[in-house]
Structures are given as C-alpha cells and as structure tokens.
Chains A and B, each alone.
Chain A
Amino acid sequence: MVDLYVNILIFFISASAILYVALGGADFGAGILEWIVPKELKEAQQNVINKAMGPVWEANHMWLIILVVILFMGFPKAFHVIVVSLHFPLVALLVGIVLRGCAFTFRHYDAVKDETSQKAYSFFFSLSSVWSSIWLGVIAASLTRGLLHAKGQDPYEIYLEPWFGLFPFLMGLFTLTIFTFLACSYLIGETRDERLKSYYQKLVPILNIGVVLLGGLVFLSSYLEPTQFMNSFFTSPFSLACLFLASVLFYFIWFYFKYFSFWMVRVVAAAQVSLILMGWFFVHWPNLIETKEGGLSFYEAAAPEPTLKQLVLALVIGSFFIFPSLFYLLNIFKSKQA
C-alpha cells in the first residue's frame, strides 16, 4: 500500500507543480510584462491584467501551499533537507511573494487612485514579480544540483553552496522568460486593444528565442555541477520525450498566434510549459531531491503509512471540492471574453 500512496502523492505533487507554474506563473509574468511594455500601452495592459488576474490570483497561489503541505506531511525527510539548505532563497522568495500579492491588491483596492501611490504599487508589483520568478527558478534548480546538505557546520556550506552558482541563476532567468511568455499567451486572448495584441504577437517569438537560448545555457552550465544534470537528462527517455514534444509545440504556438486562435494559444503554451517542467522533474526519477550524500527518492523520504493514507484521503476528497469550484471560477470569468 505504501507504494501506491506514494505514487498517488507523486501525482498530486506533479499536478500542483504544473498548475502552480501554468496558472500562477502567468501571474508572475504579468508583473514582468508591466515593466517592459511601451508607455503608450501601459494603461491598456494594466486594465487587462487587473481583469484577468484579480479573481484568480489567490486561488492560483494555493497550489504552492498544497505543495508545501504535501512535502512536510508526506515527505518530511525531503522537506527537512530543503528548508535547511535552501533557507536563504526561500526567505527571498517569500519576501517577494508577500510584496507582490500586497502590491497587486493594494493597487486595485486603494479607495483613492492618485498617481504617486498607483505608480508605487505598480513598481513593487513588477519588481517583486521579477524577483520571485528568479528565486523560484533558483530553488527548482537547486533541488537537482546534488549540493543540498542539511548537516553542515560551515556557514558557507549550509547557507550558500546549495543554491549559489551559474546553473541556478540561469535557471532563474529561464523561469522569468517562461513566465513572461505564459503571461503573453494568456493576456492576448483577454484584451480587446488591437495595439496590445500586436505587441504581444511581436513579443512572443522573441521570448521563445530567449527560452531556447537560456535553456541551452542552463544545460551547458549544468556541466559545472556535481550531478551533471545534462547527462542525466539526455539518458532519461521520459525527459527527452518531453523536450521533443515541447519543441514541436513551438510550431503550434506560432501557428495559432498568427491565426488569432487565442484559446488554442493558451492551451498549447500551458502544455509546453508543463512538458518542460515534467522533463525537468523526472530527470532524476525516482529521486525527489539530490543531496550531497546522494539522491533521496520519493519512497525513501515518505512518511509512515497512516500519515500517507490520511494525506491521500484529504487530497482526493479535497479534489472533489477544489476542481469543480475552480472550474466554475474560470468558467465565470474566462468564458465571457473569449
């Protein structure tokens, strides 16, 4: 039974991670877009972002909480290593998440909309979106580097080494680019402003090139890493298949962008990002994290059976409430504009 429970939990972890990146990632991307958009489109873009993100950002953000709860309840040994060795990037991420959620909400709900304060909220919203996306990438990369280490004494070894390096940093930039791309693909279907639409149409290929270039650099830089991420990647059939499919999807993205089929753009973009995430997630299968002492697999890190059972139960029952209500939410707010 234990293995079955663990497998179900792996499903929920992957699902939450995918949904967090595919839905929440676009919210981060929106903050980034606000920074790069030309002045004359600023207002139109801000309106569409408020409209698109307002109802859903809190729900999107819940996937992260679900992930954390699954980790600390179901895989306490892995959680332990992560929170100790990634203390610094996690705190950095949290500070970003706090500022971002607040800035976004304050901007919308401030009773007095004067220019100075609105500008300040927007600034913090964009800044913290960029900041958090990078740290999210750094954290993701650090899980696979093989440098996590929960028992060290030396401050460098526990504080910095696990996440400090070229590979995690490039992964941060990669994440940033992907999130921006996701935001473009979602927002293009929400806006009625033609200028904004064509701006996104021009931006997307540039972002795609950025994703491919940065992806390549991420691979190359992983040669400097103890786990040789790239080698493992190219020997994992599952990851290779994901990479292949994700690349094929570029064609569809451009196709649908060209022909203004914005629903398909969203679906394909989300699928592409999910594939990239899956490819990365399963490179070290069945390991959940890579530590200095070697990999820690899902099965080794799992909690005792009674706990797993209760967790699976909570997640399965919870799903019966969460998915229909989420679906209803999206239906109410997304169907009307399409």
Chain B
Amino acid sequence: MDDLLAARLSMGFSLGFHIIFAAIGMTMPFLMSVAHYKYLKTKDEAYLKLTKMWMKGVAILFAVGAVSGTVLSFELGLLWPEFMKWAGPIIGMPFSWEGTAFFIEAVALGLFLYGWNRMNPWIHWMTGLIVGISGFASGIFVVAANAWMNAPQGFKVEQGQVVGIEPLTAMFNPAWFHQSLHMQVAALQAVGLAVAGVHAYLLLKKRNKSIHQKAFLIAMTMAASCSLIQPLVGHFSAQRVAVLQPVKLAAMEGHFETSSQAPLYIGGFPDEEKGEMVGAIPIPGLLSFLAFNDFEAEVKGLNDFPKENWPPVMVVHISFQIMVAIGTLLSLWALIYFFLLIFRKKYPPWFLKITVIFSPLGFIAIESGWITTEVGRQPWIIYEWMKAEEALTSVPGMTYHFYIFLVLYLFLAFMTAWLLKRLVTYYG
C-alpha cells in the first residue's frame, strides 16, 4: 500500500466510523426528547423507562462519537497538512462554529445525563433538546466545510498565494445547502429506522409490549416521514452535482459519451477500459430529464474529461446505485407504513419483521452516499484546485497509521455493539 492510498483509506475509514456515531448523536436526542416530553405530560412510567433506556444508549454512543471526532480534527492535519495550510484559513469558520456548537452540546449532555432530580423537570427536558439542536447545527457546519471541497469559492490565488479570503462566501458555497439538507434528513431517517428495528425485534419477542409499542411509534414516525421525502432531496442533490461536478455525475451514472437524451442505466458495471456500461438496462432520455428536467438536455460524459481527472468510476457508480436502491426501497416501505397506520391502525408481524431486516439499511445508504461524494471528487481534494497527492503529508509510514486506527476502531465497534446488546437484553 503506498502512502497516498493508506492516507485515503485512513481518512475514509475514520470518517465512515465517526459518521455512524455522529448521526446518532444528532438525532437520538430528539427521539429522547419526545419520550421525555410524553412522560412529563402523562406521567406514564413507560415513557420514563424508555427515555432512560435511550439515554444510556446515547451516553455510550456519544462518547465514541466525541472521541472519534477528536481524532478527526487532528487527522485532517496529520494526513493532509498541505491541504489544511491552504484551506484552514478559508474553511476554518464552519469548524469554529462547529466547535462552539459541540461545546454547548457537551455541556447540555452532562446536564441531561446527570441532572435527574437536580433541576426543574422542564429545564432538564430543555437540556436534552439542546443536545439535539446543537448536535444538528454542528452537523450542518461540518458538512458545509466538506461542501466547500466540492464547490470551492471565497478566495483568489495570486502567484501561488491564497488571497482575498472571504470566509462567509466560502462557507455558504453552492454545495452547502443540498449536502447539509440531504445529510440531515439521512441522519434522521437512518437512526429512526435502526431504532424502530430494535423495538420491532423486541415487540416480536413479546417483551414489555407497552414500552416498545411507544418506542416503535416515535421512531417510525421520524423514519417513515424522512424516507418519503429523501428521494426528492436526493434528486435535488443529483441536479446540483450535474451543474457543479459533471465528472462526478458521469461517474455516478456510468455515462461515458456526451449525449442529449442521455439514458439512465439500471444495474450493470462500468468498463473503464472500453468506456461503456456492461449488462445495464438503459432507459432512454431519463438521465437528461433527472439531471436537467428536460429529456433533450445534453449530459456530459466521462470521455469529455481527461482520463487522469476521472474518479474511480466503478466504486462511485456502485456505491451510488446502492444508495439509490436503498432510498427507493425505503420510500416504498414508508408508504406501506402509512397505509397500515391510516387504514389498519396496527402493524402485522410481517411488517415488524421487514423493519428488523431493514434496520441497518439507512446506515449503509449513508456510508455509500459518502463514498459516492468523496470518491467521486477524486483525484481532487479541493475540486479543480488541489489534488489529494499534493496535500499528503511528507511523513512516511502512513500504512501504520491506517492499521493503528483500523484495529482501534474495529475494537471499539465490537465493544459498542456488545454494550448495546447488553443494554437491550437488560431492558428488553
């Protein structure tokens, strides 16, 4: 493994690890707040038990999110020092706001976790909500920083020097809105689904029905509503990518030749050597329509770009297909849910079983979505400004860096799963 590959894998692996806990940290507090609110209003002990059960899970997951986030804030510099030297002054701003938001989040979490019976119940409830709000805000800030790498602006370069920095323009770059929106909806969707899955499983086991019924309903409401809107939000993302990063779009779709009435390919594999899709079903004109709302619109193909600026087409295409497939599947699942809710008013065991099986899908979609975004930006670290290889640290031995964090995170992943299993068994 060369240093560049090792550094990329380290970065991708750390982020892929962190995002799971970050998504949970941003959205679980809202679920918790709903349950807590219901308890305060109804004094129904089942809600209290639920709040506390969720709270214990959040405490564990939050800690892993916090420490892996700490690693990330150093790792950006440790792996890509040239990038940070160049970009730090430009996109530092969202990070500084993110820092503030985390601080408030960490304080509010301390108050929420340990504040039972020490504070006015409603103020205590507020602290839980603040954990969610500040976590959510910080998520938006980091994604805005990432969006800048896809659509850099707010600076000029004169004689190799960065000048004329405008941090606000950089933060509110053309990609920040669609990326943040899509990410935040994804977090709500994925976490809601996973939580619903756990409680569906416990409902099937017929344990503590009253608690799990309530939990299932709260989590499902969030997951199912987000699943309905996510394909639209994702479609909006794709339209922005078509404008901002045509190479990425072409790689996502396996679109090699520039054409009007460009077809959308379902399934299949891109063959980079021959420059064509193998074994895919083309639907004529649909890509043109999806990207530009016009069946005749011209969509740029990969062949229009120099080959050294292509991202790894196979990876981008497959991960994109996985995300879209999951998004489509989940929107159908959400339709069934709302149908059952409105017309049947109960959920048959087969629906609970499907939900259990689906529970990891949201997270798989988040991971594949990020792989699409990040690998699709390759070879650039800052789109059309700096290549990843120019940003790499001069320190040798990145392979070791990768293995150290690989082992550490695998160990932590195993531990967290084990702890959550113990928690669920204990409360189940």
A225 to B342 CA separation, bound complex (whole angstroms): 76
Q: Which residues 232-274 of B have a CB within 8 angstroms of A?
A: none
Smallest CB–CB gap between B64 and chain A, Å? 6
Number of interface residues, chain B, beta carbon within 8 A? 69
Q: Which residues 12-68 of A have a CB within 8 angstroms of B?
A: 54-56, 58-59, 61-62, 64-66, 68
Find the A residue at minimum CB distance from B59.
Answer: A109
Given known pairs A87-B393, A151-B394, A318-B103, the reply for A304 and B163 (CB within 8 Å) is yes
Find the B residue at minimum CB distance from A333.
Answer: B114
Given known pairs A79-B77, A325-B108, A332-B119, the reply for A54 and B113 (CB within 8 Å) is yes
A159 to B400 CA separation, bound complex (whole angstroms): 13
Given known pairs A111-B427, A311-B93, the reply for A55 and B408 (CB within 8 Å) is no
Whether B99 pairs with A69 at a CB distance below 8 angstroms is yes
A159 to B398 CA separation, bound complex (whole angstroms): 12
Whether B67 pairs with A65 at a CB distance below 8 angstroms is no
A80 to B82 CA separation, bound complex (whole angstroms): 7
Smallest CB–CB gap between B54 and chain A, Å? 12
Whether B395 pairs with A158 at a CB distance below 8 angstroms is yes
A304 to B73 CA separation, bound complex (whole angstroms): 21
Given known pairs A83-B84, A97-B67, the reply for A55 and B426 (CB within 8 Å) is no
A95 to B10 CA separation, bound complex (whole angstroms): 14
Whether A83 pairs with B74 at a CB distance below 8 angstroms is yes
When distances are taken between beta carbons in the complex, the residues of chain A under 8 Å from B281 are none
Q: Which residues 96-116 of B have a CB within 8 angstroms of A?
A: 96-100, 102-104, 106-111, 113-115
Given known pairs A59-B107, A95-B404, A306-B167, the reply for A314 and B102 (CB within 8 Å) is no
Other-chain contact of B81, A83, A99, A306, A307 (Cβ < 8 Å)? A83
Q: Which residues 108-135 of B have a CB within 8 angstroms of A?
A: 108-111, 113-115, 118-119
Residue in B70, B104, B401, B423 whose Cβ sees the most chain A Cβ within 10 Å? B70
Given known pairs A65-B99, A73-B88, A322-B104, the reply for A56 and B408 (CB within 8 Å) is no
Q: Is the C-beta of B206 less than 8 angstroms from some C-beta in chain A?
A: no
A67 to B272 CA separation, bound complex (whole angstroms): 45
Whether A64 pairs with B70 at a CB distance below 8 angstroms is yes
From A100-108, A199-207, A214-222, A240-248, the one touching the partner chain is A100-108
Q: Is the C-beta of A110 less than 8 angstroms from some C-beta in chain B?
A: yes
Interface of B is mostly: helix
Number of interface residues, chain A, beta carbon within 8 A? 67
When distances are taken between beta carbons in the complex, the residues of chain A under 8 Å from B397 are 155, 159
Q: Is the C-beta of A303 less than 8 angstroms from some C-beta in chain B?
A: yes
When distances are taken between beta carbons in the complex, the residues of chain A under 8 Å from B419 are 106, 109-111
Other-chain contact of B68, A77, A98, A111, A310 (Cβ < 8 Å)? A98
Whether A91 pairs with B404 at a CB distance below 8 angstroms is yes
A318 to B77 CA separation, bound complex (whole angstroms): 24
Whether A111 pairs with B426 at a CB distance below 8 angstroms is yes
Q: Is the C-beta of A74 less than 8 angstroms from some C-beta in chain B?
A: yes
A213 to B316 CA separation, bound complex (whole angstroms): 59
Find the B residue at minimum CB distance from A302.
Answer: B89
Q: Is the C-beta of A315 less than 8 angstroms from some C-beta in chain B?
A: yes
When distances are taken between beta carbons in the complex, the residues of chain A under 8 Å from B285 are none
When distances are taken between beta carbons in the complex, the residues of chain B under 8 Å from A304 are 89, 162-163, 165
A87 to B70 CA separation, bound complex (whole angstroms): 15
Whether A314 pairs with B97 at a CB distance below 8 angstroms is yes
Whether A111 pairs with B422 at a CB distance below 8 angstroms is yes
When distances are taken between beta carbons in the complex, the residues of chain B under 8 Å from A321 are 100, 103-104
When distances are taken between beta carbons in the complex, the residues of chain B under 8 Å from A62 are 99, 102-103, 106
A58 to B102 CA separation, bound complex (whole angstroms): 10
A84 to B78 CA separation, bound complex (whole angstroms): 6
Smallest CB–CB gap between A20 and chain B, Å? 12
Q: Which residues 387-416 of B have a CB within 8 angstroms of A?
A: 393-397, 401, 404, 408, 412, 415
Q: List 5 A-B contacts (CB under 8 A).
A: A58-B66, A64-B70, A83-B78, A303-B89, A306-B167
Please list the residues of chain A having a beta carbon within 8 angstroms of any beta carbon in chain B: 54-56, 58-59, 61-62, 64-66, 68-70, 72-74, 76-77, 79-80, 82-84, 87, 90-91, 94-95, 97-99, 101-102, 104-106, 108-112, 150-153, 155, 158-159, 303-304, 306-307, 310-311, 314-315, 317-318, 321-322, 325-326, 328-329, 332-333, 336
The 5 closest A-B pairs by CB, nearest first: A73-B92, A318-B100, A105-B63, A55-B110, A83-B77
Please list the residues of chain B having a beta carbon within 8 angstroms of any beta carbon in chain A: 56, 59-60, 62-64, 66-71, 73-78, 81-82, 84-85, 88-90, 92-93, 95-100, 102-104, 106-111, 113-115, 118-119, 162-163, 165-168, 393-397, 401, 404, 408, 412, 415, 419, 422-423, 425-427
Excluding A55-B114, A111-B425, A314-B96, 19 further A-B contacts by CB distance (< 8 Å) are A55-B110, A61-B70, A61-B106, A70-B96, A73-B92, A74-B89, A77-B85, A80-B82, A80-B84, A83-B78, A94-B71, A109-B60, A109-B423, A303-B165, A306-B166, A314-B93, A318-B103, A322-B100, A332-B115
